[in-house]
């Protein structure tokens, strides 16, 4: 039996998230059905992270064990032929049987997209949070900087989490938006990016909701550190909509 590491991209709009659900369609479900048809038996696909309903991925990493002998490039073609167009296996490679996409991951990176203008482009409505209020980009960056390091992120954890610990290490966090000489964004699209060794349920969306409050001037950047210290979810901002969130990639070295 061979184990394959697969990299998957998907538009999460019409799915109930990564994890297979009793009702509704999941990314894991459609992948397992496609691979079942290929391998002739039930298979289990394990991912680096369980993205929520409506969340997208540019490069989710997963693993699957197959009894059928097949080359990685042939596996990509065969699975994609059985998947909906909103889900695509980008690559596959044979790996050691001990490989685990979640526990072996060193760094995960998420990106959140905000459309900051009076009018939302119809081509962004599925992939960005529309905010009309002009946001202070420097304040957002200053607030995001308070997240870098090893902290207890309980205040940014969503309900329903089964995490053994709420301590995580964030290696970088901030806007990656092009700006002019005055520090103003050159376009309506703002992209917040955060990397770390792991993320709690709804953590990135709760962080973004809080940073938007900072950007609106409702609270100062230092407030983010106060929220962290509180370990109290009620102290943080709202949960940003799922549609703006993308899993960008997972590193294993």
Residues 135 and 239 occupy one common structural domain = yes
Which pTM does this prediction carry? Answer: 0.94
- Judge whether residue 231 has pLDDT over 80: yes
pLDDT at 179: 67
**Tokens 């001990």, located at residue:** 98
Whether 52 is catalytic is yes
User: Which tokens in the block code for residue 66?
Assistant: 């197959």
166 neighbors 194 (Cβ within 8 angstroms): no
Tell me the residue range of the domain where 35 lies: 2-95
d(CA 55, CA 245): 5
The residue from 95, 122, 138 where one domain ends is 95
The answer to the question of residue 136 being in a domain is yes
Average pLDDT, the chain: 95
Residues 84 and 121 occupy one common structural domain = no
pLDDT at 23: 84
Residues 82 and 196 occupy one common structural domain = no
Q: pLDDT tens digit string along 105-132?
A: 999 999 999 999 999 999 999 999 999 9
Residues 197 and 243 occupy one common structural domain = yes
Residues 6+ apart with CB under 8 A from 215: 135, 136, 137, 139, 140
Positions of E strands within the chain: 2-10, 46-47, 56-66, 87-95, 107-116, 129-131, 149-152, 167-175, 189-196, 245-251
Q: pLDDT tens digit string along 135-154?
A: 999 999 999 999 999 999 99
Question: In the chain, how many domains are there?
Answer: 2
The answer to the question of residue 192 being in a domain is yes
Residues 234 and 167 occupy one common structural domain = yes
Residues 70 and 124 occupy one common structural domain = no
Lowest-confidence segment of 69-78, 177-186, 206-215 by average pLDDT: 177-186
The residue from 95, 126, 159 where one domain ends is 95
pLDDT at 85: 97
Name the active-site residue from 11, 39, 52, 141. Answer: 52
pLDDT at 13: 97
249 neighbors 48 (Cβ within 8 angstroms): no
The answer to the question of residue 218 being in a domain is yes
- Judge whether residue 181 has pLDDT over 70: no
Residues 156 and 214 occupy one common structural domain = yes
Task: Give the CATH number, domain containing residue 220.
Answer: 3.30.70.660
The answer to the question of residue 100 being in a domain is no
Please state whether beta strands 129-131 and 107-116 pair in parallel, antiparallel, or not at all (unpaired): parallel
19 neighbors 9 (Cβ within 8 angstroms): no
Residues 121 and 231 occupy one common structural domain = yes
Residues 132 and 84 occupy one common structural domain = no
44 neighbors 62 (Cβ within 8 angstroms): no
Task: Give the CATH number, domain containing residue 15.
Answer: 3.30.70.580
d(CA 215, CA 120): 19
Residues 236 and 122 occupy one common structural domain = yes
49 neighbors 197 (Cβ within 8 angstroms): no
- Judge whether residue 35 has pLDDT over 90: yes
pLDDT above 70 covers what percent of the chain? 98
pLDDT at 180: 65
Please state whether beta strands 189-196 and 107-116 pair in parallel, antiparallel, or not at all (unpaired): antiparallel
Q: What is the CA radius of gyration of the chain?
A: 19
CB neighbourhood size of 50 (10 A): 15
**Tokens 């940003």, located at residue:** 240
The residue from 95, 128, 155 where one domain ends is 95
Residues 45 and 151 occupy one common structural domain = no
Positions of E strands within 67-215: 87-95, 107-116, 129-131, 149-152, 167-175, 189-196
The answer to the question of residue 102 being in a domain is no
Residues 153 and 235 occupy one common structural domain = yes
């Amino acid at each position: 039996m061979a184990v394959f590491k697969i990299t998957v991209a998907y538009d999460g709009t019409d799915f109930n998230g990564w994890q297979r659900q009793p009702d509704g369609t999941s990314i894991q479900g459609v992948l397992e059905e496609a691979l079942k048809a290929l391998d002739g038996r039930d298979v289990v696909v394990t991912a680096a992270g369980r993205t929520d309903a409506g969340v997208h991925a540019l490069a989710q990493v997963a693993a699957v064990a197959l009894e059928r002998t097949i080359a990685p490039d042939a596996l990509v073609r065969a699975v994609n032929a059985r998947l909906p167009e909103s889900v695509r296996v980008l690559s596959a490679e044979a790996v050691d049987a001990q490989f685990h996409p979640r526990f072996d991951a060193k760094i995960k990176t998420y990106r959140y997209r905000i459309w900051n203008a009076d009018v939302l482009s119809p081509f962004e409505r599925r992939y960005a949070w529309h905010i009309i209020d002009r946001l202070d980009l420097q304040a957002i960056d200053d607030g995001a900087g308070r997240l870098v390091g090893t902290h207890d992120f309980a205040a940014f954890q969503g309900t329903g989490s089964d995490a053994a610990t709420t301590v995580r290490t964030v290696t970088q966090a901030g806007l990656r938006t092009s700006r002019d000489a005055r520090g103003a964004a050159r376009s309506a699209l703002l992209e917040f990016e955060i990397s770390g060794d792991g993320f709690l349920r709804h953590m990135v969306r709760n962080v973004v909701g809080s940073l938007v409050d900072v950007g609106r001037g409702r609270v100062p950047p230092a407030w983010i550190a106060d929220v962290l210290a509180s370990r109290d979810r009620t102290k943080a901002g709202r949960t940003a909509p799922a549609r703006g969130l993308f899993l960008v990639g997972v590193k294993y070295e």
